[in-house]
């Protein structure tokens, strides 16, 4: 049988990586609690498993390296060595090297250079000579004779033979396979009267005559598992010179085949009839590994099922105006439940991502000689795996920032009256329909003056500009923006906050920064819980259908004309129970090029709220409410300003999903003038139409800052054009 | 009327490899990730063979073997240990716990098959 | 809207040497694109308009569950716009990383052109951007303008977001 081991290599790599993560995590914890025996066991077992599996799957380098590591760990857990900080450091390094080794084997690239060095240090720590080689168990193969030889075998099983799960019948069969058993004579001298015999013991022996082209050693192999009391003597019948047969040493001594009592046979060989395997109730956490692509396909397909069901529902209700269909309701419910279940399949806790940060903070802190305490909150919070995978890099960058630029050195902190140890905290929690991640540090915070100076340098602001705190903080999201005096080799490598923001936005999320100079910085990332599904309010505007995320919808109203007021002759607002809410005319915000913009006289308003900002959106009609599957516009197209994505409705048509937050930053076009500028859409940040000639009566949209919100407006160019306008006045 | 084998190993890749090999040999396979898990899955279940690793969390191989041997149904079935150590002590300890035989890691499916054929047909 | 889903296998002839181009009509001119990039041909279908986009981006359509942007080549080439009718088709091109639709007047046929029958695009003078022409193909008395679709659709104003 030729089983290809390669298919298991893949699993081995995944598994090894998991074990390495466990090791690293346990080692880090060991630094604070060096004597925890359970941790030591955990680390040992992880290394042990990797060693065993790696040698089985032919990953030699890993196996060799792990072998030495494992010895060291074994001594550690046995108490022969103490877990000094140096030793722990060495073990962490070893884990790193192992990780690199696994990577190298997986991708067939060069082995890490540090391997030898760390290996030597491991050996030294273990008290071994630097180049001590362990003897591998050698297996000799004996030359098979060409002629058939005769042997006499004396097989006397011990009394306990059966209790080891051994079966004399199988032994004889095995011998027979090597050649031919010409005679098999039972020796019944040990048999006792029935009542005196124990049904579980063996009392029979055999004398076997055998012929075959095999060596004596080959025959002795049959006795490999026999216990010491069992006798298995192999004597060649013909010359060559008879070897003394008395030694049962080489292998556990052979045993004579028990034949005898059928009752014992029955006891030794369990009855044949085997009922189909039934799984007993599982007591430990049981999980199944599923290929990622399959899972994604399943989830996508279920999404399509939701759309298909919607289509059926629509058709039905079109043809049967007021009739209810119990069957359809049932189906709809089942399908939506199915969808919820499928999405939860991909939810994973963010713990692993946070864990990676722990290591980073520790190493970085050491390197920069800063005392930093790393805390996490809510790491059990779950998020769609696709999001978790992509949020890692942005998080990494921001934690780096905190450690490198945020937290001061011990001296600086003491001088500032702060505790010597700095604190970096990663927090995750659910809020509304979103997943929030916060990175907080108690470092020196953002420096207003420095940022302003840099912005001045880059021409983003002018001398006399007055910017609110949010606007200043928002500047750090500009490409290439860094107020670090020197680009340290730690965080200087070209990943700026603009890339972070882009990554977050690509996940349909948003990012904002709050900071108090001298006290610290708080970065908040807001992500949708899942990328795929949205509860939407379907509205019509300008004969086009759009979707507004239901989560953002507060209410819809039909106000009277007198509640709508103009501001400064430009913007419009509505008075809503004492609150003044900006009004956006959707048909002019979303005008299509080349088409005239109809004058909007209706007053059906949908009140939406996002991140503390409220808007009133004027629409033509409310079409309905349904769950939609979000389709990414960037896949084949690009990011469209003001849109969070697209979806396919029940009638097969594409509908755009409005991004409520961004709507406020779109500039409107004048009714009946059409859009007259070129929007350069290069897709990175939402860009605006340049309104070179806005007549006085145009509808403007309010600037974000006026709302007094505490999050930063995302559009960089929005800020710049606003600033330009201010300076032009 | 196929035979049933219990495969116990906390290493997924090893377990998969052994299970796959055993399935190719015509066995029905029950998998356990450690001793405790394995015991939970086989109470009352008919078994013809057990292949178990030694070093596992929650309940190691030795304890599993002892527990199995304590049950009437499993007193006489062949139990093989997977061991990375070829030292005599492990084998001796295994013998005392009631193990039938052992396979030393690293091993390939061929070697596994050979050993299996020794103890169960 | 009628859906003419014409499968490419029906249209490909056996061309031994040279390249194959799908030719189509646009304002009385014949154009050709590499057949390997053509995924399918659809009849005109409902297009969802996208606000605040250049005029040649006519909208997006639903292609069996995928949202695909549709470009009107007349608008892209600054040719006068025309009414869409029952002969108007959308050529769906697959550029590996992206799928896009092109609105054209009508599809002609598949042209086998030997490399020696293709002339490089001539310099047409200022004002006419010929960077996305990969050449002019001559076949009998036809002159087909070969388009470099990737360049055409990959140019800055239709480029996809790079994150």
Q: What is the pLDDT of residues A42-85, one digit of tens each?
A: 888 888 888 888 877 778 888 888 888 888 888 888 778 887 88
Beta strand spans in A249-341 (E): none
C-alpha distance from C28 to closest chain A C-alpha (Å): 24
Say whether B110 and A1 touch across the interface (CB within 8 A).
yes
From the list A389, A399, A455, the residue with the least C-alpha distance to A422 is A399
Q: Which residues of A touch C (CB under 8 A)?
A: 304, 307, 499, 502-503, 506, 544-545, 589-594, 631-643, 646, 648, 652-656, 666, 675, 678-684, 689
- Chain A residues whose CB is inside 8 A of the C70 CB are none
Query: Are A654 and C54 in contact (CB < 8 Å)?
Result: no
Tokens of B39: 């015991």
Residue A717's pLDDT is what? Answer: 33
In this structure, are strands A382-384 and A347-349 parallel, antiparallel, or unpaired? antiparallel
Q: Which two tokens stand for residue A385?
A: 């795996």
pLDDT for B85 equals 62
DSSP string, A620-634: SEEEEEEEEE-B-ST
Across residues C6-33, what is the average pLDDT? 67
**Judged by CB atoms within 8 Å, which residues 58-87 of B form the interface with A?**
58, 69, 73, 75-79, 82, 84, 86
Q: Which chain A residues touch B43 with a CB distance below 8 Å?
A: 280
Per-residue pLDDT at C39 exceeds 80: yes
DSSP A593: T
User: Higher pLDDT residue, A597 or A362?
Assistant: A362
Judged by CB atoms closer than 8 Å, whether chains meet at A225 and B119 is answered as yes
Residues of B in contact with A15 (CB under 8 A): 11-13
- Nearest-CA distance A616 → chain C (Å): 19
DSSP A24-57: HHHHHHHHH-TT-HHHHHHHHHHHHHHHHHHHHT
Q: Do A679 and C159 touch (CB under 8 A)?
A: no
Rounded CA gap, A386 and A727, in Å?
44
Contacts of residue B79, defined as CB under 8 A and 6 or more positions apart, other chains included, come to A165, B49, B50, B51, B52, B65, B68, B69, B98, B99, B100
pLDDT at A529: 64
Model pTM score: 0.45
Q: Could you report the per-residue pLDDT of B65-99, keeping only the tens digit for each?
A: 999 999 888 989 999 998 876 566 778 888 888 99
Confidence of residue A432 (pLDDT cuts 50, 70, 90): low
Catalytic-residue membership of A70: yes
Q: What average pLDDT does range A565-585 have in this prediction?
A: 81
Higher per-residue pLDDT: A644 or A599: A644
Do residues A181 and A209 make contact, with C-beta atoms less than 8 angstroms apart?
yes
Residues A510-517 have a mean pLDDT of: 86
Share of chain A above pLDDT 90, in %: 8
Residue pair A182/A209 in contact (Cβ under 8 Å)? The answer is yes
Place of tokens 């999903």: A657
**Please, which chains are in contact with B (at least 3 CB pairs closer than 8 A)?**
A
Alpha helices for chain C (secondary structure H): 8-11, 73-76, 149-154
Higher pLDDT, C102 or A485: C102
Instruction: Outline where DSSP puts E strands in A577-703.
Output: 579-585, 604-610, 613-619, 621-629, 643-648, 654-658
In this structure, of A405-409, A534-538, A556-560, B82-86, the range with the lowest mean pLDDT score is: B82-86
**Token reading at A413:** 């902190």
Q: How far is CA C146 from the centre of its chain?
A: 10
- pLDDT category at A433 given cuts 50, 70, 90 is low
H-helix segments, A425-465:
448-457
Residue B96 at interface with chain A, using a CB cutoff of 8 Å:
no
**A319 in helix, strand or coil?**
helix
Res. C157 pLDDT band, cuts 50 70 90: very low
A-C CB pairs within 8 A amount to 107
Residue found by looking up tokens 């509205």 in the block = A539
The C-alpha angle C10, C16, C20, rounded to 5 degrees, equals: 55
DSSP label at B70?
A: T
Q: Which residues of C fall within a CB distance of 8 Å from A680? A: 156-157
In this predicted structure, the answer to whether residue B120 has a pLDDT above a threshold of 70 is yes
Residue A584 has pLDDT above 70, yes or no: yes
Chain-wide mean pLDDT for chain C?
Answer: 77
Radius of gyration of chain C (CA): 16
Q: What is the mean pLDDT of residues A410-423?
A: 88
**pLDDT at residue A506, as a whole number:** 72
Structure tokens, B88: 């005599």
Tell me the pLDDT tens digit for each residue of A243-286. 444 444 443 333 333 333 333 333 333 333 333 333 333 334 56
Dihedral (CA of A376, A377, A382, A384) sign: negative
B108 touches chain A (CB under 8 A): yes
Q: How high is the pLDDT of residue B18? A: 92
CA–CA distance, B7 with A78 (Å, rounded to integer) = 28
Region A548-563: mean pLDDT is 84
Contacts of A140 (CB under 8 A, 6+ apart): none
Q: Residue A653 pLDDT more than 50?
A: yes
B19 close contact with A: CB closer than 8 A: no
Q: How confident is the model at residue A597 (pLDDT cuts 50, 70, 90)?
A: low
Most A CBs within 10 Å: which of B76, B88, B115, as the mutation test of the A interface?
B76
Between the CA of residue A396 and those of A78, A95, A358, A362, what are the distances in Å?
37, 20, 10, 13
Average pLDDT in the A313-341 region?
81
What's the pLDDT tens digit per position in A121-158?
888 887 765 444 444 444 444 456 777 888 899 999 99
pLDDT at A102: 87
A715 CB-near residues (< 8 Å, 6+ apart): A662, A665, A685, A686, A687, A688
Nearest chain C residue (CA) to A657: C50
B4, B6, B8, B13, best to mutate vs chain A, most A CBs in 10 Å:
B13
Of residues B55, B107, B121, nearest to A48 (C-beta): B55
Beta-strand relationship, A422-431 and A434-441: antiparallel
User: In chain A, pLDDT over 70 holds for what percent of residues?
Assistant: 76
Averaged pLDDT score across all residues of chain B: 87
Residues of C in Cβ contact (< 8 Å) with A689: 52
Model confidence pLDDT, tens digit, residues A659-696:
887 776 665 554 443 333 333 333 332 222 222 322 22
C90 at the A interface (CB within 8 A)?
Answer: no
DSSP A526-571: EEES-SSEEEEEEEEETTEEEEEEGGGEEEEE---GGGEEEETTTE
* A364 membership: H or E segment, kind and range: helix A351-367
Query: Which of A8, A58, A270 is nearest residue B16 as measured by Cβ atoms?
Result: A8
Q: Which residues of A touch B95 (CB under 8 A)?
A: 164, 227, 252
CB distance A641 to A686 below 8 Å: yes
pLDDT digits (tens, 9 = 90+) for C51-65: 888 888 899 998 877
Q: Do B101 and A225 touch (CB under 8 A)?
A: yes
Answer whether C63 touches A (CB < 8 Å). no
Distance CA A1, CA B109 (A): 8
B48 pLDDT more than 90:
yes
Whose structure tokens read 């864990």?
A: A355
Instruction: For residue C61, list chain A residues with Cβ-Cβ distance below 8 A.
Output: 654
B11/A274 Cβ within 8 A: no
Distance of CA A702 to CAs A1, A215, A360, A567, A571, Å? 75, 96, 42, 10, 7
DSSP labels, A369-398: T--EEEEEE-TT-EEEHHHHHHHHHHHHHH
* pLDDT (tens digit per residue) in B23-39: 989 999 999 999 999 99
Predicted pLDDT of residue C7: 44
The two tokens of residue A203 are 């009392």
- For residue C54, how far is the Cα from the chain centroid? 18
Q: Do chains B and C touch (3 or more CB pairs under 8 A)?
A: no
Q: Quote the pLDDT of residue A531.
A: 58
- Give the model's pLDDT for residue A526: 86
The residue annotated as part of the active site, out of A18, A21, A48, A412, is A48
Q: Is the pLDDT of residue A97 over 70?
A: yes
Most confident option among A140-154, A231-245, B50-64: B50-64
Which of A125, A57, A133 has the alpha carbon at shortest distance from A91? A125
Exposure letters A112-146 (e unless 16+ CB within 10 A, then b): beebeebbebbbebbebeeeeeeeeeeeeeeeeee
Closest-CA distance, A615 to chain B, in angstroms, reads 54
- A280 CA to chain B: closest CA distance, Å? 4
Q: Whose structure tokens read 């500028």?
A: A677
Which of A706 and B99 is assigned the larger pLDDT?
B99
Residue A505 backbone phi and psi in degrees, to 5: -65, -35
The Cα A165–Cα A66 span in angstroms is 34
Which chain A residue has the Cα nearest residue B72?
A267
pLDDT of res. A272: 35
CA distance B32 to chain A (A): 10
Q: According to the model, what pLDDT value does residue C11 have? A: 42
Residue C162 tokens read as: 């790079």
Q: Which of B14-18, B69-73, C131-135 has the lowest mean pLDDT?
A: C131-135
Asked if pLDDT for residue B64 goes beyond 90, the answer is: yes
What are A222's two structure tokens?
């049959």
The answer to whether residue A480 scores a pLDDT higher than 70 is no
Of B19, B4, B28, B37, nearest to B82 by C-alpha is B19
Phi, psi of C91 (to 5 degrees): -90, 120
> Does residue A626 contact residue A306 with C-beta atoms inside 8 Å?
no
- Whether C69 has its CB under 8 Å from any CB of chain A: the answer is yes
- The alpha carbon torsion through A569, A573, A574, A576 (nearest 10 deg) reads -140
The one catalytic residue among A71, A401, A473, A542: A401
Q: How confident is the model at residue A476 (pLDDT cuts 50, 70, 90)?
A: confident
> What is the pLDDT of chain A when averaged over all its residues?
74
**Residue C80 pLDDT greater than 70, yes or no:** yes
Comparing A378 with A134, which gets the higher pLDDT?
Answer: A378
pLDDT greater than 60 at residue A26: yes
């Amino acid at each position: 049988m030729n089983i290809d081991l390669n298919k298991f290599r893949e699993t081995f790599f995944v598994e090894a990586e998991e074990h390495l993560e466990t090791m690293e995590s346990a080692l880090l914890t060991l630094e604070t609690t060096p004597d925890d025996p359970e941790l030591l066991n955990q680390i040992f077992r992880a290394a042990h498993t990797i060693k065993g599996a790696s040698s089985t799957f032919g990953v030699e380098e890993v196996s060799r390296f792990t072998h030495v590591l494992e010895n060291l760990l074994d001594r550690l857990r046995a108490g022969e060595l103490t877990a000094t900080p140096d030793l722990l450091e060495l073990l962490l390094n070893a884990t790193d090297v192992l990780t690199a080794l696994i990577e190298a084997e997986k991708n067939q690239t060069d082995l890490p250079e540090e391997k030898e060095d760390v290996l030597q240090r491991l050996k030294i720590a273990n008290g071994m000579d630097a180049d001590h080689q362990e003897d591998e168990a050698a297996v000799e193969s004996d030359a098979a004779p060409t002629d058939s030889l005769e042997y006499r075998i004396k097989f006397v099983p011990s009394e306990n033979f059966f209790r080891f799960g051994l079966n004399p019948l199988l032994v004889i069969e095995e011998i027979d396979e090597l050649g031919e058993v010409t005679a098999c004579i039972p020796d019944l001298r040990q048999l006792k009267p029935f009542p005196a015999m124990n049904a579980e013991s063996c009392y029979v022996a055999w004398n076997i005559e055998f012929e075959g082209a095999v060596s004596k050693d080959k025959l002795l192999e049959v006795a490999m598992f026999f216990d010491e009391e069992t006798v298995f003597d192999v004597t060649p019948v013909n010359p060559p010179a008879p070897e003394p047969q008395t030694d049962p040493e080489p292998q556990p001594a052979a045993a004579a085949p028990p034949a005898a009592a059928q009752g014992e046979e029955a006891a030794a060989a369990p009855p044949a009839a085997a009922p189909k395997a039934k799984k007993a109730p599982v007591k430990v956490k049981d999980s199944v590994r599923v290929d990622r692509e399959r899972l994604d396909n399943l989830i996508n397909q279920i999404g399509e099922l939701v759309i298909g069901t919607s289509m059926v529902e629509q058709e039905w209700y079109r043809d049967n105006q007021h009739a209810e269909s119990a069957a359809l309701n049932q189906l709809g419910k089942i399908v939506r439940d199915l969808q919820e279940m499928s999405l939860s399949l991909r939810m994973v806790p963010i713990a692993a991502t946070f864990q990676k940060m722990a290591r980073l903070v520790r190493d970085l802190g050491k390197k920069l000689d800063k005392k930093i305490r790393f805390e996490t909150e809510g790491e059990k919070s779950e998020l769609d795996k696709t999001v978790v995978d992509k949020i890692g890099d942005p998080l990494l960058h921001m934690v780096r920032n905190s450690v490198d630029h945020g937290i001061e050195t011990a001296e600086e902190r003491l001088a500032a009256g702060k505790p010597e140890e700095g604190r970096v905290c990663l927090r995750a929690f659910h809020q509304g329909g979103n997943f929030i991640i916060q990175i907080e540090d108690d470092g020196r915070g953002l420096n207003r003056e420095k940022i302003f100076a840099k912005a001045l340098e880059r021409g983003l602001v002018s001398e006399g500009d007055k910017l609110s705190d949010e606007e200043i903080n928002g500047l750090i999201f500009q490409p290439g923006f860094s107020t670090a005096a020197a680009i340290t080799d730690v965080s200087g490598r070209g990943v700026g906050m603009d890339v972070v923001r882009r990554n977050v936005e690509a996940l349909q999320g948003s990012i904002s920064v709050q900071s108090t100079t001298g006290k610290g910085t708080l970065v908040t990332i807001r992500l949708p819980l899942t990328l795929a599904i949205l509860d939407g309010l379907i509205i019509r505007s300008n004969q086009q259908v759009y979707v507004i995320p239901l989560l953002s919808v507060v209410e819809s109203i039909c106000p009277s004309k007198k509640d709508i007021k103009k501001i400064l002759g430009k913007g419009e607002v509505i008075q809503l129970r004492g609150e003044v809410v900006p009004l956006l005319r959707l048909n002019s915000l979303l005008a299509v090029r080349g088409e005239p913009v109809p004058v909007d006289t209706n007053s059906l308003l949908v009140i939406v709220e996002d991140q503390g900002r409220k808007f009133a959106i004027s629409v033509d009609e409310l079409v309905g409410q349904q769950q939609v599957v979000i389709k990414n516009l960037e896949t084949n197209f690009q990011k469209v300003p003001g849109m969070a994505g697209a979806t396919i409705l029940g009638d097969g048509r594409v509908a755009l999903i409005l991004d409520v937050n961004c709507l406020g930053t779109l500039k409107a076009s004048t009714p009946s003038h059409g859009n007259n500028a070129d929007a350069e859409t290069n897709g990175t940040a939402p860009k605006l139409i340049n309104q070179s000639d806005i007549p006085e009566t145009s509808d403007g949209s309010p600037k974000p800052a006026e709302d007094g919100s505490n999050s930063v407006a995302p559009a960089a160019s929005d800020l710049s054009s606003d600033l330009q306008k201010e300076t032009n006045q | 009327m196929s035979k049933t084998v219990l495969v116990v190993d906390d290493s997924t890749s090893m377990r998969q490899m052994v299970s796959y090999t055993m399935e190719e040999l015509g066995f029905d396979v029950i998998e356990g990730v450690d001793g405790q898990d394995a015991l939970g899955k086989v109470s009352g279940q008919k078994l013809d063979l057990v292949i178990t690793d030694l070093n596992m969390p929650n309940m190691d191989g030795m304890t599993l073997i002892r527990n199995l041997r304590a049950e009437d149904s499993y007193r006489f079935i062949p139990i093989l240990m997977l061991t990375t150590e070829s030292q005599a002590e492990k084998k001796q300890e295994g013998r005392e716990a009631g193990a039938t035989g052992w396979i030393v890691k690293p091993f390939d499916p061929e070697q596994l098959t050979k050993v299996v054929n020794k103890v169960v047909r | 809207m009628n859906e003419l889903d014409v499968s490419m296998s029906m249209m490909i002839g056996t061309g031994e040497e040279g390249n194959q181009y799908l030719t189509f009509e646009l304002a009385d001119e014949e154009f050709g694109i590499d057949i390997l990039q053509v995924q399918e041909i659809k009849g005109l279908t409902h297009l969802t308009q996208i606000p605040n986009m250049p005029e040649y981006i006519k909208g997006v359509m639903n292609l069996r569950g995928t949202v695909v942007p549709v470009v009107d080549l007349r608008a892209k080439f600054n040719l006068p716009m025309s009414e869409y009718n029952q002969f108007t088709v959308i050529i769906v091109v697959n550029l590996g990383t992206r799928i896009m639709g092109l609105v054209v007047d009508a599809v002609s046929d598949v042209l086998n052109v030997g490399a020696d029958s293709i002339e490089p695009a001539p310099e047409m003078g200022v004002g006419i951007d010929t960077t996305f022409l990969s050449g002019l193909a001559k076949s009998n008395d036809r002159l087909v303008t070969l388009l470099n679709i990737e360049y055409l659709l990959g140019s800055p104003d239709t480029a996809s977001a790079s994150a």
